[in-house]
Amino acid sequence: MMESGQKEAMQSEFAIFSRRMFLLSEIVENKTEDISDPVMSDTESYIETAIKIHNMIERGFYRICGKALKTSVIPNYPANYNSASAA
């Protein structure tokens, strides 16, 4: 799962890929909705979260695939980009 704050942190850390990072809700529902991590919660919370993710993926499967194909193009790296330091 990823929440808005986690997405922003990853976009900051990996700026070259920032336009290729999305929340599931952004692709499926065209809105920003966090899916909370049920860590340290009861079993029911895990099940509810799993069902929510499953339903979103089922509803938006083709949009998810389309977005993956659209963003799978290798970006134009800056001249000073060093792939060894990015790993």
Q: Confirm whether 10 is domain-assigned.
A: yes
Mean pLDDT for the stretch of residues 78-82 = 64
- Domain-located, residue 82: no
Any domain includes 67: yes
9 domain-assigned: yes
pTM of the complete model: 0.69
Report the domain count for the chain. Answer: 1
Which has more pLDDT, 74 or 10? Answer: 10
Give the residue with greater pLDDT, 25 vs 80.
25
83: in domain: no
Residue 85 lies in a domain: no
Count of residues in the chain: 87
For 24, the domain range is 4-75
Does residue 51 lie in a domain region? Answer: yes
Question: With 70 as the cut, is the pLDDT of residue 76 above it?
Answer: no
The percentage of residues in the chain with a pLDDT greater than 90, rounded to a whole number, is 55
CA–CA separation, 37 vs 17, rounded Å? 23
Q: How many CB atoms lie under 10 A from the CB of residue 27?
A: 17
In a domain, 86, yes or no: no
